[in-house]
Amino acid sequence: MVTSYTRSLVHNYGPSLCLSKNGNPRVLSVEVIELIADFLFQIHSPTPSENVEHETICSIKPHYTEIAGFIGASPALHRIGFVRWVTVLTIRSLDDWDAALSMRHLIRELICPDGTILSERQTILSEFPRLRALSIDNHDDVRCHATGMHPFAYRDVISSLPRSLLYLEIKHAHGPDANIIALVKRCCPDLETLWLGRCTMFNRTPACEFWTSFPFDHDSYISNEGTDAYALSLGGELSSLRNLKLLRLGVYLVPSTAVLAHRIFHVQNMPAPPTIDWQTALVPAPNENQFGQNPQPPAPQISDLISVFHQEPEDNVCERCREESYSATQIAEASASGILKEAVPGLECVEWMNWFAPQHLGS
């Protein structure tokens, strides 16, 4: 780390100075300074986690406190450090885009949180010619309309991507994966890694407007029916991506009733019945101490179902869930993965969302 004394030397004498063994200033070559900067600003591959919400497809750069001494020592060192610091950039507000575009040739990896891409700037990402990794929170891919027969409409958050892109992560999407896949095939056919994440009951607590309006549609990402047909269809869409090596899907291959089975029955150490009707399952047991009162509890409301779905995910792994569906899920995943690998010969790894992981957020 650059000390305050070294900082004053660099500021007064230039960026190519350091201390010799006897304490006198000694000139360092620009090449040595560049090597020091390479080491100090080195980025690292993302670390795998048991929780996909804590992962990113983009590289991890050092904390700013680790490089602040170097980058603040002098204008010359600032320039050397700056070109390395911005290779991985997060767009934190809409105002950041103008600054990012001014240094577009330096940026290699970009992180775009929810709400940072406006409708009128759907093509902005294609303006980054050296971009290789991109993470987009796609939660804004539906819009609520106050009037009309259909209260929600899907929208494309992005409509173009740079051809240089090799790694793409989509987070918290509601719309069909097919839309993103079509965009990838058109814009960046050399893609090597694709993560297609969904907005789910496990990563959205409380429920967002979409899931409050469509509480019966969670089987779009949690189901064990027709998994081979799904994989066959998806494989056809992906088949032209010859360089695709890793595919992560935001889909759980477990019964669509798994959530109610766990949160209504398993938590009471009871096996789940073969068929689960939510209205029957959510009826509370009568209170034996309420003598003389109406023993019939009120009928469950949809709001009750939403509350069950979007409660804080459990940290512990449920053994009854494993007993009831783990083996079948493993078989379904293996079969679907095999179909996808046949359709995309270069595909090395297919990851599915893991219901049996802590908080149901592993892959």
Mind listing the pLDDT tens digit for each residue in 176-187? 999 999 999 999
Phi, psi angle pair for 110, to nearest 5°: -135, 135
In a domain, 311, yes or no: no
pTM of the model: 0.88
Return per-residue pLDDT of the chain as tens, 363 residues. 444 434 444 444 444 545 455 655 566 788 888 898 899 999 999 888 889 999 999 999 999 999 899 989 889 889 999 999 999 999 999 999 999 999 999 999 999 999 999 888 999 999 999 999 999 999 999 987 656 566 788 889 999 999 999 999 999 999 999 999 999 999 999 999 999 999 999 999 999 999 999 999 999 999 999 999 999 999 999 999 999 999 999 999 999 999 999 999 998 888 898 889 898 888 876 655 555 565 677 788 999 999 999 998 888 889 999 999 999 999 999 999 999 999 999 999 999 999 999 999 998
Strand pairing class (88-90; 349-351): unpaired
Residue 131 covered by a domain: yes
Q: Are 127 and 107 in contact (CB under 8 A)?
A: no
Residue 128 lies in a domain: yes
Residue 227 in contact with residue 280, Cβ under 8 Å?
no
* 230 neighbors 336 (Cβ within 8 angstroms): yes
Q: Residue 18: what pLDDT?
A: 52
- Is 360 exposed, middle or buried (CB count within 10 Å of its CB: 0-12, 13-18, 19+)? buried
The pLDDT of residue 3? 44
Task: Please check whether residue 35 lies inside any domain of the structure.
Answer: no
Q: 170 lies in a domain?
A: yes
Tally of domains in the chain: 1
* Domain contains 15: no
pLDDT at 52: 94
- pLDDT score at 5: 38
Q: Answer for the pair 130, 107: CB distance below 8 angstroms, yes or no.
A: yes
Task: Let me know if residue 2 belongs to a domain.
Answer: no
d(CA 143, CA 153): 5
Is residue 18 a part of any domain in this protein? Answer: no
265-268-273 Cα angle (round to 5): 25
Q: What is the pLDDT of residues 200-254, one digit of tens each?
A: 999 999 999 999 999 999 999 999 999 999 999 999 999 999 999 999 999 999 9
Return the amino acid letter for 243: N
**Domain assignment of residue 179, given as a range:** 41-257+328-360
